[in-house]
Amino acid sequence: MIFGGGLFAFALLALWIYCIFDVIATNEVLIRNVPKIAWLLIVIFVPTIGSIAWLLLGRPQRTGFAPGDSTDRAEPRGSRLDHSTRRSLGTMAPDDDPRYLAELDERTKRLRDWEADLKRREDELHHREEDDG
Bigger pLDDT: 49 or 131?
49
Bigger pLDDT: 43 or 90?
43
Predicted confidence (pLDDT) per residue in 106-129, tens digit: 899 999 999 999 999 999 999 888
pLDDT of residue 61: 80
- The answer to whether the beta carbons of residues 55 and 12 sit under 8 Å apart is no
Specify the 3-state DSSP secondary structure of 64. coil
pLDDT of residue 96: 73
pLDDT of residue 84: 56
pLDDT of residue 16: 93
Number of residues assigned to the chain: 133
Per-domain boundaries in the chain: 1-65, 90-133
Alpha carbons 14 and 16: distance in angstroms, whole number: 5
pTM of the model: 0.52
Rounded to the nearest 5°, which phi and psi values hold at 62?
55, 30
Alpha carbons 44 and 19: distance in angstroms, whole number: 9
Predicted confidence (pLDDT) per residue in 4-19, tens digit: 678 888 999 999 999 9
Secondary element (H or E) of residue 66: none
Predicted confidence (pLDDT) per residue in 30-86, tens digit: 888 899 999 999 999 999 999 999 999 988 887 777 777 767 666 555 555 555 555
